[in-house]
Amino acid sequence: MITNDMIHDEDFEGNYFSDDVAVKYDLQNGKINTVAFCICPKTAEDMAKSLNLLDHLEQDGIELKQQASEQKGKDGKRSHRINRRLL
């Protein structure tokens, strides 16, 4: 179980960042991907921090439960979306 005293400010820093209402990922090669658009800048900032925290937890070896769901896109092709949750 993860508690608040185990999480530090630096755990929220990483390759994800917010730019107004966009959540972006720095690929560390001069390129940046936009991963989401949010309804307000605060939500984008919180989402970027949460994704950075999730990355840090995965790097520390915390096991995550992965749940794949299959969806059909507009083009009729199937795509997979992974929902990551802490065990």
pLDDT of 8 reads 74
Give dist(CA 12, CA 52) in Å, integer: 5
- Indicate if the pLDDT at residue 16 is higher than 80: yes
- Write the DSSP symbol of residue 14: S
Count Cβ atoms below 10 Å from residue 74 Cβ, excluding itself: 5
Q: Tell me the per-residue pLDDT of 66-80, one tens digit each, with 9 for 90 and over.
A: 655 545 555 555 444
> pLDDT class for 17, splitting at 50, 70, 90?
very high
Of residues 4 and 42, more confidently modeled: 42
Give dist(CA 49, CA 15) in Å, integer: 10
pLDDT of 1 reads 64
Give dist(CA 28, CA 26) in Å, integer: 5
